[in-house]
Amino acid sequence: MDALFDSIADNIAEHGFAVADKFLSQDELNNILTLDDFKNTANHFKKAGIGKQQGLQINEAIRGDYIKWVDKEASPAPLQVYVSRLESLVQYLNQALFLSLKDFEVHMTVYPIGTFYKRHLDQFKKDDHRKLSVICYLNEGWKEEHGGQLRMYLPEKTADILPVGGRLVCFRSDQIEHEVLPATRERYSITGWILDQYIALKHL
Ligand SMILES: O=C(O)CCC(=O)C(=O)O
Ligand SMILES: [Fe+2]
Residue 108 contacts residue 68 (beta carbons within 8 Å): yes
Whether residue 202 has pLDDT greater than 70: no
CA of 58 to the centre of ligand 2 (A): 15
Q: Is residue 150 part of a domain?
A: yes
- Note the pLDDT of residue 203: 59
Closest-lying ligand to the alpha carbon of 135?
1
Mean pLDDT of 23-39: 96
pTM above 0.80, yes or no: yes
Whether residue 48 has pLDDT greater than 80: yes
Strand, coil or helix: 78: helix
Q: How many CB atoms lie under 10 A from the CB of residue 78? A: 18
Q: Is the ipTM of this complex over 0.95?
A: yes
Residue 168 contacts residue 93 (beta carbons within 8 Å): no
Q: Considering the chain, what percentage of its residues have pLDDT values greater than 90?
A: 83
Domain of 173 in residue numbering reads as 2-195
pLDDT averaged over every residue in the chain: 94
Q: Is residue 200 part of a domain?
A: no
Strand, coil or helix: 108: strand
Residue 110 contacts residue 65 (beta carbons within 8 Å): yes
- Note the pLDDT of residue 200: 66
Whether residue 44 has pLDDT greater than 80: yes
> Which residues, other chains included, contact 113 with Cβ-Cβ below 8 Å and sequence gap of 6+?
182, 183, 184, 185, 186
Whether residue 55 has pLDDT greater than 80: no
Q: In this structure, what DSSP letter does residue 54 have?
A: G
Q: Is residue 36 part of a domain?
A: yes
Q: How many CB atoms lie under 10 A from the CB of residue 3? A: 8
- Note the pLDDT of residue 204: 53
CA dist 35 and 70 (Å) reads 13
> Among residues 130, 128, 125, which one has the least CA distance to residue 106?
130
CA dist 7 and 147 (Å) reads 26
**CATH number of the domain bearing residue 149:** 2.60.120.620
Q: Specify the DSSP element, H or E, that contains 67.
A: strand 66-69
Q: Is residue 148 part of a domain?
A: yes
CA of 109 to the centre of ligand 2 (A): 12
Ligand 1, CB within 6 Å, residue ranges: 117, 122, 135, 150, 178, 180, 189, 191
Mean pLDDT of 103-130: 92
CA of 77 to the centre of ligand 1 (A): 24
Domain tally, the chain: 1
Q: Is residue 202 part of a domain?
A: no
Protein residue with its CA nearest to atom 3 in ligand 1: 150
pLDDT by residue (tens digit) across 136-185? 999 999 999 999 999 999 999 999 999 999 999 999 999 999 999 999 99
The atom of ligand 1 lying closest to the CA of 179 is 7
Number of Cα atoms under 13 Å in the Cβ half of residue 186: 12
Q: Is residue 203 part of a domain?
A: no
Residue 148 contacts residue 186 (beta carbons within 8 Å): no
